[in-house]
Amino acid sequence: MSRVLEVPSPSTDFVVHKGVRVPMRDGVELLADHYQPLTATPAGTLLVRAPYGRRFPFTLSFGSVYASRGYHVIFQSVRGTFGSGGEFTPMVNEIADGADTVAWLREQSWFTGTFATVGLSYLGFTQWALLVDPPAELAAAIITVGPHDFAESSWGTGAFSLNDFLGWSDMVAHQEEPSLVRMLARQATAGRRVTTAALDLPLSTGGRTLLGEGAPWYESWLRPPQDDPEHWQRLAATAALDRTDVPVLLFSGWQDLFLEQTLAQYRRLRDRGVEVALTFGSWTHTQVMTRGGATVLRETLDWLSTHLGGAPTTRRHPVHIHIHRAADDGWVELDDWPPDPTHHTLYPRAGGALAQTPGGGHLMFTYQPADPTPTVGGRLLSPDGGYRDDSALADRADVLAFTGEPLPADLYVVGTPVVELAHRADNPHHDVFVRISEVDAKGRSYNVSDGYRRYAGDSASEQVSIETDAVAHRFAAGSRIRLLVAGGSHPRYARNLGTGDPAVSGTAMRAATHTVAFGEQTRVILPTGSRRQPTDRRTRSPMALNVSGS
């Protein structure tokens, strides 16, 4: 298997010391499992801090796979989870508890003197929390789909990311269910139950009905950051981006819910001169460790051997990206992100075309919060996320669809597209959702890149400019580019009730009629290139991404 994955083979046996008690400054003890390699020359020490338990598949992903290659691993359950003392309040205690865990680690006779951190999602946040005041012994961090600012993750568009964080709260609230059968049954119906709860009003009532007595933090998340900035500051580790000089390896996916956070982390560390590398695959949040597992493990082991063991790196370029739907294996190596693009502009027209030149006229649609435009695919923390057939969206009365002509040649879109709309709404409280999709030769449409914004100002005349998700995507010759415009995407985002009432308590609803005018101010700007050279997989030399023309 190691040969297939192109990673170093296991080098040692190991033993696991379970339930090791780690004291915190307030007297609480957190439980950890210590994976001890049976070798006189350990490769280093790794710290993993997680709220999801110390069981399969985490035992494999963050325990045995590294212990069998010579690393001591401390795999700790964070406060209030799986036997660790105290109460679990997401994000709040991770800075202090991480520092206390390192203080304990220093005193262990087997400690190798330096250590690295690894982990994904919430395990990534615990790493950013530690990097707020980086310990001297911390030599490297490998952060996979890990946010640093929960306020930005949950309210960055102006609308609450309802599906993701109600769904996550439900999962965490019931993850220690003693009956495995009952827990698996809950997971199998999670999407349906979250969608049902998300339709209930007020949101606090629907959420609490789903959560029961679990997740007591949920109602506080329904209050936007501007209403309680002090509360939301406790849920962030943003200061780490300005304080750490530790080499950081970042992993994410084009369909990951924390995509923007990972790119912000890369840019900030790069601009400060910190050693940072970035790998983006065509993955969702969970696919990073399934479809992307081999890539993540291979590059992680290389990063660890370089920064803990002093070995030369095999990484020649800081940025690795996967081109979704590429004709070959799709992997590209770059000196930076994003590459300098050519901007290819398309113009929606009143007849539903997406053309090379602007037209005139306008179209209207009405968003009804009582029957919200549904979410189809996209960057969801859900099995329903990712790249999906979204053809049905184009047929809805509350969606405008604009479709281009078949492409004469492959078109590579690499970077951050922008959708600009000359737009008005008759209700100042409204949302705008835009999506770029690819329509194949059979007429099926698949999402590529989304953008979302909530507005609450004077809507008499607006020029809307929305950056959609960063992408690396090949639109195949013969396919067509499609733009969708709508007034919502539910339950990915809490629907705009149209009244300005607080999300936590609002129940009244008012529709919003949107008008999009056509001309030079309504356009789609794509960062494009025309062709790629194939990779040399034997030498992993960089693949040339030609963005000189379209």
Dump pLDDT digits (tens) for 234-282: 999 999 999 999 999 999 999 999 999 999 999 999 999 999 999 999 9
Quote the pLDDT of residue 340.
85
pLDDT score of 214 more than 60: yes
pLDDT over 70 at 435, yes or no = yes
Q: 484 phi and psi, to 5 degrees?
A: -115, 140
Candidates 441, 413, 280, 398; CA nearest to 345 is 413
Q: What is the pTM of this model?
A: 0.93
* Share above pLDDT 70 across residues of the chain, in percent, rounded to a whole number: 94
Please spell the DSSP secondary structure of 38-67, one letter per residue.
--SS--EEEEEEESS-S-TTHHIIIIIHHH
Q: How confident is the model at residue 483 (pLDDT cuts 50, 70, 90)?
A: very high
Name the pLDDT band for 544 (thresholds 50, 70, 90): very low
CA nearest neighbour of 444 among 388, 494, 363, 376: 388
Q: Report how far residue 336's alpha carbon sits from residue 277's, in angstroms, rounded to the nearest whole number.
A: 9
Joined tokens for residue 35: 């994976």
CA distances (Å), origin 29, targets 20, 131, 176, 550: 9, 22, 19, 59
The residue to which tokens 């037209």 are assigned? 359
CA 368/CA 496 separation, integer angstroms? 9
Higher pLDDT, 525 or 290: 525
What is the spatial distance between Cα 124 and Cα 43, in angstroms, rounded to a whole number? Answer: 22
Residue-wise pLDDT tens digits, 285-300:
999 989 999 999 999 9
Half-sphere exposure in the Cβ direction for 347 (13 Å, CA): 17
Determine the pLDDT at residue 128.
98
pLDDT score recorded for residue 537: 38
Distance CA 411, CA 477 (A): 7
pLDDT for 545: 54
pLDDT over 90 at 86, yes or no: yes
Task: Reduce the DSSP state of residue 274 to 3 states and report it.
Answer: coil
| Strand-strand pairing, 115-120 and 248-255 | unpaired
pLDDT at 548: 36
- Structural tokens at position 80: 């209030």
Positive or negative CA dihedral for 297, 301, 302, 303? positive
Q: Above 60 in pLDDT, residue 23?
A: yes
CB atoms within 10 A of CB 59: 18
Bridge-partner residues for 117, per DSSP? 47, 141
Q: Please choose, from the candidates 523, 158, 136, 476, the residue with its C-alpha nearest in 3D space to the C-alpha of residue 355.
A: 523
- For 434-452, the DSSP string reads EEEEEE-TTS-EEEEEEEE
Which residue reads 């750490």 in tokens? 244
**482 bridge partner residues:** 403, 437
Confidence of residue 177 (pLDDT cuts 50, 70, 90): confident
Over its C-alpha atoms, the chain yields an Rg (Å, rounded) of: 24
pLDDT at 461: 52
Neighbours of 392 (CB within 10 A): 11
**381 in Cβ contact with 370 (< 8 Å):** no
Which residue bears the tokens 């999801």? Answer: 52
**pLDDT the model gives residue 69:** 94
Residue 498 CB partners (closer than 8 Å, separation 6+): 367, 369, 427, 429, 430, 509, 510, 511, 512
By mean pLDDT, which of 79-83, 330-334, 370-374, 460-464 is the weakest? 460-464
